[in-house]
């Protein structure tokens, strides 16, 4: 029996993490990390198929998680969610192979892109 792919959601606002997790229900095993350090530990031990991170994680930046993910596990699909448009963050995310989207404005697009990434992993 094939194990379900995993998604790690990292966001400082638990309601955002819970909402994204609910949208992905049944498509993957979802883990939620509330802090940068918690996410860093998960990435080091059980790298996910998909990483979804907010930009602001306390004193840290979610882009640093994307960089760590890309270095250690280049096959992980990375998504950065933004509260509002930010050209600098979008450019930096793209430079590190991540897709950036406004959330919740582009929630449907995020869900579809994550589903497509999970489908690629399942093949």
Find residue 61's DSSP bridge partners.
Answer: 56
pLDDT at 123: 64
pLDDT of 45 higher than 80:
yes
Structure confidence at residue 18 (pLDDT): 97
Please state at what angle helix 14-23 crosses helix 107-122, rounded to 10 degrees: 60
Instruction: Name all domains of the chain by residue range, CATH numbers in brackets.
Output: 6-122 (3.40.50.2300)
Give pLDDT, residue 4. Answer: 82
Percent residues over pLDDT 90 in the chain = 90
pLDDT at 42 over 60: yes
- Tokens 């918690």, located at residue: 38
Query: Above 90 in pLDDT, residue 108?
Result: yes
Asked if pLDDT for residue 2 goes beyond 70, the answer is no
Q: Compute the radius of gyration of the chain from its Cα atoms.
A: 13
What sections of the chain are H helices per DSSP? 14-23, 36-45, 62-72, 87-95, 107-122
């Amino acid at each position: 029996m094939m194990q379900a792919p995993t998604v790690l959601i990292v966001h400082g606002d638990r309601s955002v993490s819970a909402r994204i997790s609910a949208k992905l229900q049944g498509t993957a095993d979802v883990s939620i990390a509330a802090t940068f350090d918690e996410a860093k530990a998960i990435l080091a031990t059980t790298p996910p198929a998909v990483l979804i991170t907010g930009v602001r994680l306390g004193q840290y930046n979610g882009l640093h998680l994307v960089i760590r993910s890309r270095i250690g596990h280049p096959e992980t699909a990375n998504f950065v969610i933004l509260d509002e448009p930010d050209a600098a963050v979008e450019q930096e995310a793209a430079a590190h192979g991540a897709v950036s989207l406004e959330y919740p404005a582009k929630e449907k697009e995020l869900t579809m892109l994550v589903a497509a990434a999970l489908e690629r992993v399942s093949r």
